[in-house]
Amino acid sequence: MSLLALEYFNNTIQAYLIFLGILVGLIIIFVIFKSIIVHRLKKVAGLTKTEYDDALIEIVRKISWIFYFVLALVISSKYLVMSDLATKIIHYLFIIILIWQVIKSIQVGLDYLVSQYITKKAAEDGDDDEGPDIHKIALFTKVIKIVIWIVGTLLIVSNLGFNITSLIAGLGVGGIAIALAAHNILEDIFASFSIYMDQPFRVGDYIVVGDKMGTVKKIGIKTSRITSLQGEEIIISNRELTNAHIQNFKKMEEKNKFYYRNYISDTKQKTRKDFCYY
């Protein structure tokens, strides 16, 4: 009997060699195909001004080798005689990796477009305070990513054969219990959304909240940090900030600078004008 005809786990050595050859060959083909696609896309992107084709290049370029390996494994495994359990394991593995890769690709494209948008707007606006709020954009990007991961996880659970209806119902009951237990934390988180949306103040503004005053250094999810004139850091919960009367001196500072500059200019021209501070 030939060595290639020997059987192990219902497959001959020849079948295993064919399986390995197809597996390795497909991985090489996928990598080469990826390089060709990226090269072609770069040529097309060089002829356009849109950022979407550049984002597509970044997505294709960052497709994980794990995805290529699992895809090649699914195709090459068709040449083996496998048990139902092994077939299910490979099938579920492919579903998990596929959904994971789709989520990662969406994240890569989203991060690229957001970074390009921020860079472009910052270049256009310069040091203008009315430029893009980086912290606000970053927060909404994180929220979108969390939603994508939640949807992806539910898709994986559903494709694995679990009843997501009962699971969601269970999570709903658990969510109510957590919300009751972490009432103050949730209020601070929702308050941070309110601050980002309404923008009563921004990072760099000089504000007065009750008996506390200073320059805003950071607006976080739960708390905001203010540096006082003496240099110490004041940490205030976002819930307290949204419920308090806030005095923002940023605009007043800009008005003072405006009128001061006009006064100096008029003085040089020996023209007397009254000016005042607001």
C-alpha 242/C-alpha 185 separation (Å) is: 14
Q: Considering only residues 26 and 254, tell me which one the structure prediction assigns the higher pLDDT.
A: 26
Where do the DSSP E strands lie in 104-227? 206-209, 212-219, 223-227
Instruction: In whole angstroms, give the CA distance from residue 95 to residue 155.
Output: 9
**Domains within the chain, CATH numbers bracketed:** 3-127+148-156 (no CATH), 183-252 (2.30.30.60)
Strands 246-248 and 233-237: unpaired
DSSP 8-state symbol, 93: H
Using one digit for the tens of pLDDT, what is the confidence trace for 38-49? 888 888 877 777
Instruction: Please check the confidence at residue 59 and state whether its pLDDT lies above 60.
Output: yes
Distance CA 265, CA 45 (A): 49
Which are the contacts of 18, defined by CB distance < 8 A and separation ≥ 6? Answer: 79
| Model pLDDT, residue 250 | 77
Q: Cα separation of 79 and 44, whole Å?
A: 39
Find the helix or strand (DSSP H, E) in which 253 lies.
Answer: helix 250-268
For position 270, what pLDDT does the model report?
Answer: 46
Confidence of residue 277 (pLDDT cuts 50, 70, 90): very low
pLDDT per residue as tens digits for the range 77-119:
888 888 888 889 999 999 999 999 999 999 998 888 888 877 7
For the chain, the straight-line distance linking the first and the last C-alpha, in angstroms and rounded, comes to 100
Distance CA 62, CA 60 (A): 5
The structure's pTM equals 0.60
Single-letter amino acid code for the residue at 260: Y
- Among 88, 86, 42, 34, which Cα is nearest to 61's? 34
* 206 strand-pairing partners: 215
pLDDT in tens, 161-196: 877 676 666 666 555 665 555 566 667 767 777 777
